[in-house]
Amino acid sequence: MEMEILKQLIADEFDEIDVDEQTGFYDDLGADWMDMLEMMFACEEEFEIEIGETRMKEIQTVGELVELIRQLSKA
């Protein structure tokens, strides 16, 4: 479920619909830090969680973000 919602957020932010858990935000999607902050805010709002900049700086791939969302959603 998280992956499908995240795919939509990525499509909105990066105009990219063909992503999987191995897709890299920086390498494959060409994200910069501002893009990642926007993605963080969108995820925080959509999933009603708090990620924070420190955690977001560690995220490199879509799969890592999905896992973090799952962890924070359980808390």
Q: Which residues are catalytic?
A: 32
Q: DSSP secondary structure string, 6-54?
A: HHHHHHHHHS-----TT-BTTTTT---HHHHHHHHHHHHHHHT----HH
* Whether 49 contacts 73, CB under 8 Å: yes
How many beta carbons lie within 10 A of that of residue 59, not counting itself? 22
